[in-house]
Structure 1
Amino acid sequence: MSAAKTVGGQAVIEGVMMRAKDNLAIAVRRPDGEITVELRPWFSMTPEFMKKPFLRGFPIFMETMVNGVKALNYSATQALDEEEDGELTSFHLILTMVIALGAALGLFVVLPHFFSVAMKWWGVSGDVDSLSFHIWDGFFKMVMFLGYIVSISLIPDIKRVFQYHGAEHKVIWAYETGGDLEACRIKNFSRLHPRCGTAFLLFVLVVSILLFTVLVPMVVAIWAPESFVLKHLYIVGIKLLLMAPVSAVAYEMIKASGKYENSPVCKVMCLPGLGMQYLTTREPDEQQIEVALAALNKAVAAGSSDADGGHC
């Protein structure tokens, strides 16, 4: 797979956002059945010196969040037939991101830590510098992640988003492998993709478990408050700070999995992420694939004209 043929995407409300180089396109199926497509420049907040391996992960993650939230908001205005001036202001965008990040860190970093503290109180775990504590911490991270995915998948509107997620993957596979860009043929491609954001989140969890298991005992050995409460608040703060390098490492892993997808090692690395996508994607219908294809064509056509779709 050549770098020039690599695109990325995201499912939105009744549609798909596709990115090709410095452009993104958001295609949404409106209530009247029409597909509307919006072309925008990719908002970048990553300075040139931060685009190096193991530096780029966290800032790219942040700018992906910004573009993703803006795409979701736009799709909501189109799918619900609202005025476009109802989109988020800069203030509301920042507030939304802060709330989303806070909720994610609280759910997958803070709560698992204090659940593991409870295991120590019950006598089935050692202190924070022991391996058993971090085994419990990793266990609770995975349980909460799986529980979250399963819970939201039961919501009818999220099921629709997961179908568009599957359509996004199928269209990307067809484009990157040089297949026919026709909805009736694209549906035969897999709805699973190794560069999916679900796989990235799973890599983040795995890397955080391994990194915390090694680094937290080292930090505690150097210095930690005497007070039990302050000690654990201090450690949670260290974990939150470490999420930046954790996301950087996870990003390089997801990049490697796409670049060396035929490598036996990468295939093994991708298996858990691909397995998770059975939960976060659903088989789309041809109309949903048409929406994803419209987004792809618009994004790619902004820089080239080699992605024109056809009809069966």
Structure 2
Amino acid sequence: MAERKGDLARAFTEDGALKTHVGGQALIEGIMMRGKHNWSVAVREPNGGIYVEEHDLPGPKGGADWLRWPLVRGCRAMVESLVLGYKALEIAALHAFGEEEPDEHARQPRAAGEPVPPPAAPGEPTPRSMVAGEPAPPSIAPVDGPAGDGGSSADSRNEGAGDERPSAGAKSGSAGGGNEGTVPSQPLSTSPSFSWKDDFGRPDTMIDALGAQRALEVVEEPEPRSEKKSFMDEEVEFGKREMAVSMALGLVLGVVLFIAAPAYLTNLVVGEYDSNTLLWNVVDGLLRVGVFVLYLWLIGRMSDIKRMFGYHGAEHKAIHCYEHGLPLTPENARSFPRLHVRCGTAFLIMVMIIAIFVYTVTPINGLIELWGVPDGAPKLLLVILARILLMPVIAGVSYEITVKWAGSRPENPLVKVVLWPGMQMQYLTTNEPDDGQIECAIAAMERVLERERAEEKRAVAGASGRASAAA
């Protein structure tokens, strides 16, 4: 307990002097960092390396100044966070679980003694032996060269292959021979024992002499290799459907767990909504917070979520390190607490607390009387629908209090009181990270800081140019 109090006290008292606006989000084996101009994702890949990807922030442009108004900017921030979080999770899933390309020779099992073909060049047809019972292709190309001129035909095939044909049982090594992975034919024989007069009725001897293949082959185009691409590439469909379904199910689950279920339980405990509105909203809010805490505690027992909470702690440590003006290294970041006063967890708790006040002052009782809504399920459904529709208002108010006011005044005693519940929740949503997780946080943050430094230099150069032109 003493350690927790120490972390909490340090998060309030050791807030750095630089007060950065950079924030982040823990991902699957990675971290997303967001700055003024761009956002970046750093993911630990299965081979141990760190994959980093960055994109510009969308942001309102032109005549969209109203999106920066108080209350409205909170709703916009919530929507943007959901969209960027979805994209960042997609990138993380693509690279955290992406398998390394297997060896070409190990893709298909081969029988003992079967020759192993060399890898085909990109775009080169891949031959395949026809299996028994498979229908023949529409047409088979005849052997090159005029009938009756076996010598010239064989010579032309050898010249096109660029090498001698391998003998039976030898490994095929010619990329242009067109017989890789099949039963190799016998080498071209021009011995005096063969003659058109004596051997015309001996098919095996003729096939060997003409250099033709014994097995019927079908040439088909190889399947394109799957490559890791950005979610911005429209051709990539990896996991998009699954991610969309999971996001939709997550929203439905959130509504059921944190709105519908508490409202239903409150109706059972307190009674109808309009019978005691204040008590109903207080009990509903406390149940909502309790469900949220229980939910975080339960998922925190899962190994994958534990890892993600470790990345959450790494994100806080990296931001602490930068705000204190120290070089971004795992050694420097490791010494800071895993809690941070500007964490999004505090925002979520503030949303639930403010929801109690917003729901209480909303005249839902007037709507019940005006429309004559009967008791039971219809009245409960109206209350639940009103709570869903009021979510943007609650998000806007919470953003102004938590981010704009409390986030810039962490030393204020009243701010400590307001942020205390959210700071306590960070003990559930953060874990002590290892150095590898801190390295991911630093890699993502450095990419954002590099962009901001470049934009600052560009702004200074532009101001200098305008001053020179005016002079």
- Judge same fold: TM > 0.5, yes or no: yes
Report Cα offsets for 1:231-256 as digits up to 9, x if no partner.
22112111111111001011112212
Equivalence map 1:205-244=2 (5 Å): 205-216=352-363, 218-220=365-367, 223-228=370-375, 229-244=377-392
Where does residue 255 of structure 2 map in the other structure? Answer: 105
Distance 1:217 1:128, change over 3 A: farther
Corresponding residue to 2:92 among 64, 75, 82 = 75
Residue 291 of structure 1 is matched in structure 2 by 440
User: Pick from 50, 53, 58: which aligns with 1:35?
Assistant: 50
Q: Which amino acid aligns with 1:138?
A: G
| Structure 2 residue aligned with 1:259 | 408
Residues in 2 aligned to 1:269 and 1:214: alpha-carbon distance in whole angstroms: 21
Q: TM-score, normalised by structure 1?
A: 0.88
Task: Note the alpha carbon deviations across 1:24-64, whole angstroms, 9 max, x for none.
Answer: 11001111111110011124479431111111111210111
Structure 2: distance between partners of 1:164 and 1:43:
25
Residue among 71, 77, 93 paired with 1:60? 77
Q: C-alpha separation between the residues in 2 aligned to 1:247 and 1:87?
A: 32
Give the letter aligned to residue 380 of structure 2. H
Partner in structure 1 of residue 450 of structure 2 = 301
CA–CA distance in 2 between the matches of 1:208 and 1:9? 25
Equivalent position of 1:199 in the other structure: 346
Partner of 2:34: 19
Structure-1 separation of matches of 2:79 and 2:270: 35
User: Which residues of structure 1 form unaligned runs of 5+?
Assistant: 307-312
Paired residue for 1:114? 264
> Is 1:161 matched with 2:161?
no
Alpha carbons of structure 1 residues 119 and 80: separation in structure 2 relative to 1, 3 Å: same
Code of the aligned partner of 2:433: P
Q: Deviation of residue 223 (structure 1)?
A: 2.8
Range with greater deviation from structure 2 (292-301 or 37-46): 37-46
Provide the rounded CA distance (Å) in 1 between the counterparts of 2:239 and 2:366: 41
**Residue 181 (structure 1) shift:** 1.4
The structure carrying a bigger helix percent of its residues is 1
Query: Structure 2 stretches of 5 or more lacking a match?
Result: 1-15, 100-227, 230-235, 456-471
Does structure 2 retain, via aligned residues, the 8 Å contact 1:192–1:274?
Answer: yes
Please report how far the alpha carbon of residue 86 of structure 1 lies from its aligned counterpart in structure 2 after TM superposition.
4.3
Query: 1:120, 1:133 within 8 Å by CA — same for their partners in 2?
Result: yes
Aligned AA (2:70): P
Q: Secondary structure at the match of 1:17?
A: strand
Separation (CA, whole Å) in 2 of partners of 1:168 and 1:145: 22
Aligned partners of 2:54, 2:280: CA distance in 1, in Å? 48
Alignment counterpart, residue 177 of structure 1, candidates 308, 316, 324:
324
Conserved in 2, the CA contact under 8 Å of 1:66 and 1:97?
no
Residue pair 2:28, 2:93 contacting (<8 A) in 1 also:
yes
Q: What is the Cα deviation at residue 75 of structure 1?
A: 0.5
Secondary structure at the counterpart of residue 38 of structure 1: strand
- Partner residue in 2 for 1:309: none
Counterpart for residue 280 of structure 1: 429
CA distance in 2 between partners of 1:58 and 1:222 (Å):
30
Q: Is contact 2:34-2:448 (8 Å) kept? A: yes
Residues 118 and 216 of structure 1: CA distance in aligned 2, closer, same or farther (over 3 Å): farther
Question: Matched residue of 2:390: which SS?
Answer: helix
Deviations 1:251-279 (A, max 9, x none): 11221221111111111111111110000
Equivalence for 1:310:
none
Aligned residue identity for 2:308: V
One-letter code aligned to 2:389: L
RMSD (CA atoms): 2.4
Instruction: Tell me: CA distance 1:250–1:115, structure 2 relative to 1, closer, same or farther (3 Å).
Output: same
Q: Give me the whole-angstrom Cα distance separating, in 2, the residues matched to 1:80 and 1:86.
A: 15
* Pair 126,21 (structure 1): closer, same or farther in 2 beyond 3 Å: closer
The equivalent residue for 1:48 is 65
Q: Identity over the aligned pairs, expressed in percent?
A: 35
1:135-150 correspondence runs (5 A): 135-150=282-297
The 3 A distance-change label for structure 1 pair 94 and 13 is: closer
| Superimposed CA distance per residue, residues 6-30 of structure 1 (whole angstroms, 9 cap, x where no aligned partner) | 2010011111110111201100111
- Corresponding letter in the other structure for 2:323: E
**1:24–1:113 distance in 2 versus 1, CA, 3 Å:** same
SS in 1 for 2:31: strand
1:226 is displaced (CA, Å) by: 3.1
CA distance in 1, matches of 2:18, 2:397: 20
1:22 and 1:141 map into 2 onto residues whose CA distance is 36
Contact 1:194 1:254 (8 Å CA) reproduced: no
**Greater shift in the superposed pair: 219-228 or 4-13:** 219-228
Question: When the two structures are aligned, how many residues end up with a matched partner?
Answer: 302
Contact conserved, 2:37 with 2:451, CA < 8 A, in 1?
no
Secondary structure class of the residue paired with 1:302: helix
